[in-house]
Amino acid sequence: MNIKHIHPWNVEPKKAVEYQRKLREKISFTSTYNRIKLIAGVDASYKKERIIGGIVILKYPELIILDRDFVVTKVSFPYIPGLLTFREAPALIKLFKKIKWNPDIIFFDGQGYAHPRRMGIATHIGLFLDQSTIGCAKSRLTGEYTNPGNKKGCYSQLLDKEKVIGAVLRTRDNVKPIFVSPGNHINLSKAINITLLCTTNYRIPEPTRQADLFVNKIKKELLIS
């Protein structure tokens, strides 16, 4: 995949926030794909100051796994809420440079536009990739909402000072909702629809569910002293 070099990752937290604010104006809600054939799920896990970044490529709409790959890098940025991308991006960018596939849509286990500076990991890395990306998080980072209905497909708006920044989406009947927001090159309506189409018998959409299973498998197998 072609990766844009927009800024370095090894920076001080104050500079990281500055980059996020500047990049906000570059977010696009216009899709980069004409037809969806390939979807990817991306996740990261940690083991002894190492980050394991994993990606799973799936054929769409069958959601059949075509390939999986991973990288391992050292942690070089502290854990600071709202700046997760600066901690995980070095591994994930390295991973995207490694793969031979060019997925039409990439799901991230994290926030997209639903971020205090609108620059969650799905949005931030989506700008580097110039690809359509979706953030699917298990918990809320920012914003207010009312609970959606209990049936699959019900959702409520996630609001920040009356601005819609995402959706609180019920992916299965009577289970906890997830938090969906556009990353880059996609709008909220499409992000919701595609997330539902990629959700099978589980709460989490299949791309990120498979990526989570994969990185945790690698984590257990990885020998790091």
Residue 164 maps to a domain = yes
Rounded to two decimals, what is the model's pTM?
A: 0.96
- Least Cα distance to 113 among 166, 61, 46 occurs for 166
Residue 25 maps to a domain = no
48 DSSP assignment:
T
Quick check: 105 and 180 in contact, CB under 8 A? no
Q: Domain containing 114 — which CATH number?
A: 3.30.2170.10
Q: Which two tokens stand for residue 173?
A: 């009947």
Total count of domains within the chain: 1
Residue 113 maps to a domain = yes
Structural domain boundaries enclosing 134: 37-221
116 DSSP assignment:
T
Summarize pLDDT for 28-67 with one digit per residue, the tens: 999 988 899 999 999 999 998 999 999 999 999 999 999 9
Residue 13 maps to a domain = no
Residue 2 maps to a domain = no
Summarize pLDDT for 100-148 with one digit per residue, the tens: 999 999 999 999 999 999 999 999 999 999 999 999 999 999 999 999 9
Residue 204 maps to a domain = yes
Residue 31 maps to a domain = no
Residue 142 maps to a domain = yes
Helix axes 84-98, 121-129, angle to 10 degrees: 40
